[in-house]
Structure 1
Amino acid sequence: MADPDPDRVLVPSLGRPGEDEALAYALESFPDAEIVLLAVVTPLESPLSEGGVLERDDDRFEEARETAKTRLASVAADSSERVRIETVEGRPGTVVPRYASDEAVDHVVMYGHGTNTSGLVRRFLGRDVATTVVERTDEPVTVLG
């Protein structure tokens, strides 16, 4: 049974539209929880990356962190003391469930990335990230979208 009052809520940040909604939902729905805004940097060899054009010493980690900070400032600057920003590299469907398990997260809130993509895009990318996270995460997952 899901914890109605989680202590730590994970909100993945992949740099896609709709993620502001997930962060706002987590802040409003879980007013006493610490929110972890997880900026995920996709590996260069991944099909979701920029095509391997960038070098390994690129600024993607800092850019992901800045995107997460901007997202936080636009959604709820007054709640920033409750939000911790972390940055990880990996495929979102793998690193989000692993982070949730390893870091004692009680709940995951995310936007339903890819749920409105075409069949061709889905076939290229595999499946949408939200479905993969739901299937691989032991903790409750709220998918918005």
Structure 2
Amino acid sequence: MADSDPDHVLVPTLGRPREDEALAYALETFPDADVTLLTVVTPLDAPLSEGSVLERSEVRTDQARDSATELLESVPESTAADRVRIETVEGRPGNVVPRYASEEGFDHVVMYGSGSGPGSGSTGFVRRFLGRGIAATVVERTTRPVTVLE
């Protein structure tokens, strides 16, 4: 592995479509790196909290962990399981991801940015209206290199 290749790659997931592409990209692009699939559960008091608003935190955390496991199983690479670990945290993604990447010593972050183009769903309008998405916030707040897939 070259000196510039990361040893530890963070792939945050927020329960959005196409996040499997970010995981597959990380595994393919950095074949010697350990990968952490970080599932972020937005707290109930957060504005624009995503889905499952009335469920208790433990239930939502379990659902997020199950989704991450399904996401990992969807990646065709048979050796992925021994290189990927799943972690779950609660918080606002724009705050949690940069802090987690720094505190846990990750070398690189790979995430799906779900732009405002076709197929991005209703959140594209919200992002255009507010002027930024979670990926842009992560890029701005982290000191680690970030690859954003659109």
Q: Same fold (TM over 0.5)?
A: yes
* Alignment counterpart, residue 128 of structure 1, candidates 113, 128, 133: 133
Q: TM-score, normalised by structure 2?
A: 0.85
Runs of at least 5 residues in structure 2 that lack an aligned partner in the other structure: none
What amino acid is aligned across from residue 69 of structure 2 in structure 1? K
Matches of 1:57 and 1:10, distance apart in 2:
23
The CA deviation at 1:31 is 0.7
Q: Is this contact kept in 2: 1:114–1:129, CA < 8 A?
A: no
**Any idea what SS the aligned residue of 2:79 has?**
helix
* Percent of pairs with identical residues: 68
> For residues 1-145 of structure 1, what are the structure 2 equivalents within 5 Å?
4-50=4-50, 53-75=53-75, 76-116=77-117, 120-122=125-127, 127-145=132-150
Between 42-51 and 28-37, the greater mean CA deviation after superposition: 42-51
Gap change, CA 1:51 and 1:73, over 3 Å in 2 = closer
Gap change, CA 1:124 and 1:56, over 3 Å in 2 = farther
What amino acid is aligned across from residue 27 of structure 1 in structure 2? L
Aligned pairs, number: 143
Gap change, CA 1:120 and 1:19, over 3 Å in 2 = closer
Matches of 1:70 and 1:52, distance apart in 2:
18
Matches of 1:57 and 1:100, distance apart in 2:
23
What amino acid is aligned across from residue 132 of structure 1 in structure 2? T
Runs of at least 5 residues in structure 1 that lack an aligned partner in the other structure: none
The CA deviation at 1:53 is 4.1
**Any idea what SS the aligned residue of 2:17 has?**
coil
